[in-house]
Amino acid sequence: MNLSRILEKGFLTIDPDASLGDLVNIFTRAKRNVFPVVNSDNIYFGIITLNDVRKLLFDVDKYNSVIIKDIMIKTPENIYTDDRMDKVMDKFVKTKAWNLPVIDHNNKYIGMVSQSTIFSSYRNEVLNQIEN
């Protein structure tokens, strides 16, 4: 399997200096519940998940005072563009994460990889080999 084939680029991102109100606006357009935190130079800082901020979303008074960099979390591992799939899988096993960011060695955000996409791709590869 190739990392580029399972890379997901459809995640909406948010700037670390954005406000909680900005995040609420992004939530309304999102199809996912994970938001990579990247600056204008596409440097990766962390992630925000809906579960992490659910309680804050109903406190409108905090929309302008809460800043993303203060509530984001650092991911336990990052996947690098040149990581082999065995190393990628080891990172998922070690962290028990469902989504991990893919960055280059300059910390630029490339996309996300999910365990479910890896397993689905692997299953398809096995089925293709069985059929052939």
Q: What residue spans define the domains of the chain?
A: 3-131
Strand, coil or helix: 67: strand
Residues 16-58 have pLDDT tens digits of 999 999 999 999 899 899 999 999 999 999 999 999 899 998 8
Query: Cβ distance 3 to 70 under 8 Å?
Result: no
Left (φ > 0), alpha (ψ -120 to 50) or beta: where does 121 sit?
Answer: alpha
Average of per-residue pLDDT values in the chain: 91
- What is the CATH code for 3-131? 3.10.580.10
pLDDT given at position 131: 78
- Alpha carbons within 13 A on the beta-carbon side of 95: 19
